[in-house]
Amino acid sequence: MDLNGQKCPACGRNFDHDDDIVVCPVCGTPQHRACWDERGECVNASRHAEGYVWQPEAAGYRAEPQPEEQTENKQGTQVCPICGAENNPNSLSCTNCGAPLDEGAGCCTSCGQKVGGNTAAQQPVYTPAPAQPVYANTAPSEENKPVSVGAFFGLILLYGISVVGLISAIIMACVCTNKNLKHFALATVIFKLAGVVIAILAVIVMFVIGFSLSDWAGSIRDQMPLFIGLI
C-alpha cells in the first residue's frame, strides 16, 4: 500500500517510508504503531459498527480493481448514489468518493463473511520491522594488540644500551609478532646503524682535516727562515 501524501488519522503527521505502520484488519485504517499502542485499538474503532472503511485522502483516488473484480459481471456492481462510480457489491463505501454504500454493508470485501461490531479481540496487521545490522567482532588480534606506556619506557631503556640495545632491537625486529613492538624495534635498529655510519664518517673527516692542517703547519714552519731573511 502506497501511503505517500497520506496522514496518520491519529496524530495527523504524514506517513514516511521509514515509519512503523500498522493497518486495522477491520476498516483498513493505517496508523503509526505508536498511535495504535497508545490507544490500544484503531483510531476509528468507534465507527466499525457502522461499517466504516478507510479511504485515501487524495482527491480522485480510485482503488485498483482486484482480479476477481475485473472479471465480475457489471450486473453485480454497486453504483454510488453520490458520484455514480461502480463498486464491488461487497464494498462498504465508494472507492472514488468515500460515500457509504447500503448494499453489502457489514460484509468482508475479500471473503463475503459478515463482520460485526465485536472487533476488540482482533489484532492489527503489523508491518515487518527493519532487520538489525550484524556487527563483526572488532576485538584486536595479537599482532595488533596495543602496547602500554610502561612497556615502551622499558624498551627505550633497553635499547639505550649501546651494543646490548642494538642486538636486542635486531632480535625483537626479527621474532616479535606484535606489529607495534616490531616496528619500534626496527626503527631503533635503523636509528642506531645510522648513528654508527655518521660516527665513522665524522672520524674520517676529522682525520683528513687534521692531516691537512698538519701538512700546512709544517710547510709554514719550513718557510719561516726565508721570511725572516727577507725582513
Q: Could you read off the pLDDT of 183-209 as tens digits, one per residue?
A: 999 999 999 899 889 999 999 999 888
Mean pLDDT for 163-173 is: 88
Residue 165 lies in a domain: yes
Residue 173 lies in a domain: yes
Asked if residue 81 and residue 18 are part of one domain, the reply reads: yes
Asked if residues 125 and 20 have their Cβ atoms less than 8 Å apart, the reply is no
Asked if residue 175 and residue 92 are part of one domain, the reply reads: no
Which comes out higher in pLDDT, residue 137 or 185?
185
Whether the predicted pLDDT of 178 surpasses 60? yes
Asked if residues 184 and 152 have their Cβ atoms less than 8 Å apart, the reply is yes
C-alpha cell at 23: 493497518
Q: What are the CA-CA distances from residue 178 to residues 143, 167, 185, 199 (Å)?
A: 4, 18, 11, 32
CA distance 89 to 64: 15
136: DSSP letter? P
Mean pLDDT for 22-37 is: 87
C-alpha cell at 174: 626479527
Asked if residue 97 and residue 203 are part of one domain, the reply reads: no
Give the model's confidence band at 79: pLDDT under 50 very low, under 70 low, under 90 confident, else very high: confident
Question: pLDDT tens, 83-126?
Answer: 777 877 777 877 777 777 764 444 555 555 544 444 444 566 66
The residue from 82, 97, 128 where one domain ends is: 128
Asked if residue 149 and residue 121 are part of one domain, the reply reads: no
Q: Please name the helix (run of DSSP H) or strand (run of DSSP E) that holds residue 192, with its range, or none.
A: helix 179-230
Asked if residue 208 and residue 160 are part of one domain, the reply reads: yes
The residue from 128, 151, 168 where one domain ends is: 128
Domain range for 222 is: 143-230
With CA atoms as reference, report the closest residue to 159 among 172, 171, 168: 168
Give the model's confidence band at 141: pLDDT under 50 very low, under 70 low, under 90 confident, else very high: confident
C-alpha cell at 46: 468507534
Asked if residue 116 and residue 90 are part of one domain, the reply reads: yes
Asked if residue 196 and residue 119 are part of one domain, the reply reads: no
CA distance 36 to 42: 6
Whether the predicted pLDDT of 61 surpasses 60? no
Whether the predicted pLDDT of 148 surpasses 60? yes
pLDDT value at residue 198: 93
Cβ count within 10 A of residue 33:
15
Residue 136 lies in a domain: no
Sign of the C-alpha dihedral, residues 43, 47, 51, 54? negative
Q: Look at phi and psi of residue 161 and say left if phi exceeds 0, alpha if psi is from -120 to 50, else beta.
A: beta
Asked if residue 58 and residue 2 are part of one domain, the reply reads: yes
Which comes out higher in pLDDT, residue 204 or 18?
204
C-alpha cell at 138: 572488532
Asked if residues 103 and 94 have their Cβ atoms less than 8 Å apart, the reply is no
